[in-house]
Amino acid sequence: MLHVVIAGAGIAGLAAAVSLRRAGHHVQLYEQSSLNNEIGAAITIPPNASRILLAWGVRPQDWRFVLAEGASAHDPFTMGKTMDFGSKGSAEKIGGAPMYLSHRVDLHNCLKWLATREQGPGVPAKIHRRSKVAAFKFKDPEAPSITLQNGEVIHADLIVGADGVHSRAAEAVLQHKVEAIAPQHSNICYRFLIPASVLEEDPETRHWNITNRSRMRIFPHNDTQRRLVTYACRDNTVHNFVGLFYDESARLGTEDWQASVKVDEIVDRFKDFHPYIVKVIRKAKDVKRWPLLYRYPLKRWHRDMLVLVGDAAHPMLPHQGQGGAQSIEDGLVLGISLLGARSRNDIERRLGIYQDVRRNRASVIQILSNIGQDLAQQLEKEVLPYLDKDKIPTNPAQIQQFNFGYDAIQAALEAMRRHEPGFSLPANFFDEKVVGVPPKTAVAVQRTGASLPHCRSATTDAGPAAVEIS
């Protein structure tokens, strides 16, 4: 049993806490915020992440997750559909598990419940709020530790850095400063929520509640590097909006989730979009704006008794909707990799296995997240160091297959069994059967316009399979 300290209690930190707890370790998380503010708007939970949550016993209805019924791209000036990325159940046909849409706080509370509840396997994790980590000490095998901003030193057997894009832990692992840079396609993001009830009150906007129900819609204008992404969350009672654009005059800065701007600013930014879209945008009350930041993939994710997860390892832009999912995959794999670890040498070997499973996959998605799925072919050269050329996804169908059709549970088990042939998980590591990935296929993509690149279309009748994990 290890005493594990996690710096950061966001999605990645909490997912790691859940998995490490189930692997039999004692976990304490140190979070700089009070965890009281609803920030970050909404988030997608694609099949590659939902299979993990479902196996951990999560009941989506308890957390007001919305079952996604496909996604489509639309001309921002006519609102005409230009491409279908799939219909109800198409994501599940690829990944075996459903895709959900969630308020970020609902997902965060779900993971917090899994990590800290009294019931369930292992010792409940403990979260220390308002506890900012200022320094990491991890080379001394007898006394790895973190130092809080108030000077308090906390010792542990292992330290997990889940401290975000401006990660001190990443700099400690690499032993040099890790710079965030402005991406080339979209460097600014607006986020806002509009209650469905507000749109319902106005006869001119209430139809949005029907067309946007349980479905993601994307309104891209690639010539001006702008796109609006919208979908519902919280039992379809709230609409989430993300406005992405490129501003040459914007200075590189740090994210401030609480930085509000006037609604008129975003209206002006998208004023030439269809009048109906502009009318809906005007219903927003609280619009947040912050810079989008990118980091190049890291060469390593661990050093001595310090390991990285989530944005600390691979900050992602929102174009692929995989940031939270990759954090959940990280946490899951870290826990499996450290099951039964005790000695320093064993821990370091297991961290190497974790990195081998996670680094290349997350790096590919990190790079592809710089741009919309309809433009992915532009990034092929950047992806090549992390994936064989014939496996690089270059269109929406291939990207969804790569993202959704991956089983992190099976990947972690196979990696562990290459090192320890008899490796198995305890019976209580999962509460439910793990839903496996169906036979590989491309998602059905229907191209209805001429403005987006061609996507290979294919369908399958293969359904999800429940697999036994031991």
Nearest to residue 29, comparing CAs of 121, 158, 129, 143? 129
Give catalytic status of residue 406 as yes or no. Answer: no
Across 41-94, the runs of DSSP E, i.e. the strands, are 42-45, 66-67, 71-74, 81-86
> Which one is catalytic: 100, 190, 231, 354?
231
Contacts with 143 (C-beta within 8 Å, 6 or more apart), sequence order: 137, 155
User: Token pair 């140190």 is at which residue?
Assistant: 30
Residue 415, CA distances (Å) to 84, 358, 469 in order: 36, 11, 14
Nearest to residue 58, comparing CAs of 102, 92, 23? 102
User: Token pair 């700099």 is at which residue?
Assistant: 171
Q: In what order do the strands lie in the sheet with 100-103?
A: 42-45, 100-103, 66-67
Nearest to residue 235, comparing CAs of 217, 205, 207, 214? 214
> Which one is catalytic: 21, 104, 168, 191?
191
Beta pairing, strands 3-7 & 26-30: parallel
d(CA 75, CA 242): 16
Give catalytic status of residue 231 as yes or no. Answer: yes
Residues known to be catalytic: 191, 231
